[in-house]
Homo-oligomer: A and B are copies of this chain.
Amino acid sequence: MVKARRQQQKRCWGVPLLLVVYVGYVGLGAGVLQALERPAEARAAQHILRQRWELLANHTCLRGPALQRLIEVSPRPDGAALRASREYFSFNTSFLSCLGYGNLSPSTVAGRIFCILFALFGIPLNLVLLNEIGQLMLLGVQHCAHRLEEVFHWQKKASLLIKTCALVTGSLLFLLLPPLLLSDKEGWSYEEGFYYSFITLSTIGFGDYVIGMNPDRTYPSWYKNVISLWILFGMAWLALVIKLCINFLESSSDFCQCNKSMAEEL
């Protein structure tokens, strides 16, 4: 019991430390990537402006509004506008968590090589961070179960009750409530927000829905930070749930004994 509490304290300190290392690493990467990509972006932005003027000059029937509509209909190619360093930061966090929405991607050879090197240490770092957060959540749940057992002298009931509570609270906090915030800030329907939440937390990241990209809307300053925290903790939670699903899948097949005896041998 004392040992478990010491572990919990250690982990409570470990997670903020890892977070600081992670944020520092991502910030450093954002700076380097911006330095590598900016010249190419500036060229691309100029090229698009020039093409637009050429089209206008050659097709005189296409006046401002009609051309504008055509350009608006066609999605903006990568690197069409200069990006702020904040955008590189959020690109890097979505990149290292293997989301890869695809609305941004490196366009220069140097940027691509940097991304590969950056990911080689960044992805394991991100996985370790998610794992630590997940373990912290698990420890918290176990701590609550212990408390309940001590107070009410329940044995197995407490563990089951707490696990169900944790699953329900997690589902509410990470999957069912965020779509409400998203539908308020992005103008999506609840169903679209839920779809976005699932595709994001499962690290699939199609990129058909991306937050903070609608130029017609103003976003409060806390919005992106809250979403980042939600993604971090939500991914850790969903990874934990998927891990439990895998344990269930494996224990219901023959592989279970095989894996256990192998783990003992290794």
- Out of B66, B135, B246, name the residue touching A128 (CB < 8 Å): B246
- Let me know if A35 is at the binding interface, CB within 8 A: no
Nearest B residue to A244, CB-CB:
B124
The digit string for A109-137, where 1 denotes a CB below 8 A from any CB of B, is 10011011001110111011001100100
Q: Which of A37-45, A98-106, A147-155, A222-230 forms contacts with chain B?
A: A98-106
In the complex, which residue of chain B has the Cβ closest to the Cβ of A69?
A: B55
A87 at the A/B interface (Cβ < 8 Å)?
no
The answer to whether B4 and A265 touch across the interface, beta carbons within 8 angstroms, is yes
The B-contacting residues of A in range 221-242, CB under 8 angstroms, are 242
The reply to whether B78 and A208 contact each other, CB–CB distance below 8 Å, is: yes
CB neighbors of B among A180-215 (8 A): 191, 194-195, 198-199, 202-208
Cross-chain contact A10 with B254 (CB below 8 angstroms): yes
**A65 on the B face (CB < 8 A):** no
Report B-chain residues with C-beta under 8 Å of the C-beta of A194.
116
Q: Which residue of B lies closest to A125 (CB)?
A: B249
Main secondary structure of the interface of A (DSSP, over half): helix
Task: Report the bound CA distance from A265 to B139 in whole Å.
Answer: 12
Within 8 A of B (CB), among A26-81: 59-62, 66, 70, 73-75, 78
Whole-angstrom CA separation of A249 from B126 in the bound complex: 11
Query: By the criterion CB–CB under 8 Å, are A199 and B7 in contact?
Result: no
Is B61 a contact partner of A100 (Cβ separation < 8 A)?
no
* Residue A2 at the chain B interface, CB threshold 8 Å: no
Interface pair B262/A102, CB less than 8 Å apart = no
Chain B residue nearest to A209 in the complex (CB): B105
- Report the Cα distance A132→B246, complex, angstroms: 12
Closest to A203 in B: B98
Q: List, in ascending order, chain B residues with CB within 8 A of A14's CB.
A: 254-255, 258
What are 25 A-to-B residue pairs whose CB atoms are below 8 Å?
A3-B265, A11-B258, A59-B59, A98-B202, A98-B203, A98-B204, A99-B204, A101-B102, A102-B207, A102-B208, A109-B191, A112-B191, A112-B195, A113-B191, A116-B194, A119-B204, A124-B242, A125-B249, A127-B242, A127-B246, A128-B249, A128-B255, A131-B246, A132-B255, A135-B259
